[in-house]
Amino acid sequence: MALDFSQIIPALPGLADGMLLTLKLLVMAVGGGVVLGTLLALARLSDNLLLSRLAKWYVNYFRSIPLLLVISWFYLVVPMVLSWITGDLTPVGAFTSCLVAFVMFEAAYFSEIVRAGIQSISRGQINAAYALGMTYSQAMRLVILPQAFRKMMPLLLQQSIILFQDTSLVYAVGLMDFLNTARSKGDVVGLPHEFLLFAGAVYFVISFGASQWVKRLQKRFAV
Partner 1 sequence: MNYHWDWGIFFKSTGVGSEIYLNWFVSGLGWTIAVALAGWAIALLLGSVLGVMRTLPGKLLPTIATTYVELFRNVPLLVQLFIWYFLVPDLLPTPLEMWFKQGISPAASAYLSVVVCLGLFTAARVCEQVRTGIQALPRGQNNAALAMGFSTAQTYRFVLLPQAFRIIIPPLTSEFLNIFKNSSVASLIGLMELLAQTKQTAEFSANIFEAFTLATLIYFVLNMSLMGFMAWVEKRVRIPGMMGGSK
Compose the 70-109 pattern: x for residues touching partner 1 by CB under 8 A, - for all others: --xx--xx--x--xx-------------------------
Contact set for partner 1, span 31-70 (CB under 8 A): 61, 64-69
Distances (CA, A) of 217 to 35, 109, 110, 144, 213: 22, 21, 19, 21, 6
To partner 1, the closest distance from the beta carbon of 167 in angstroms equals 8
Is the Cβ of residue 70 or residue 143 nearer to partner 1 in the bound state? 70
The answer to whether 169 contacts partner 1 (rule: CB under 8 A) is: yes
To partner 1, the closest distance from the beta carbon of 48 in angstroms equals 25
Is the Cβ of residue 134 or residue 189 nearer to partner 1 in the bound state? 189
Among the residue ranges 48-56, 103-111, 127-135, 205-213, the one whose residues contact partner 1 (CB under 8 A):
205-213
Binding partner 1 by CB under 8 A: which of 166, 184, 189, 218?
Answer: 166
Q: What is the binding site for partner 1 (CB under 8 A)?
A: 1, 61, 64-69, 72-73, 76-77, 80, 83-84, 165-166, 168-169, 171-172, 179, 183, 192-193, 196-197, 199-200, 203-204, 207-208, 211
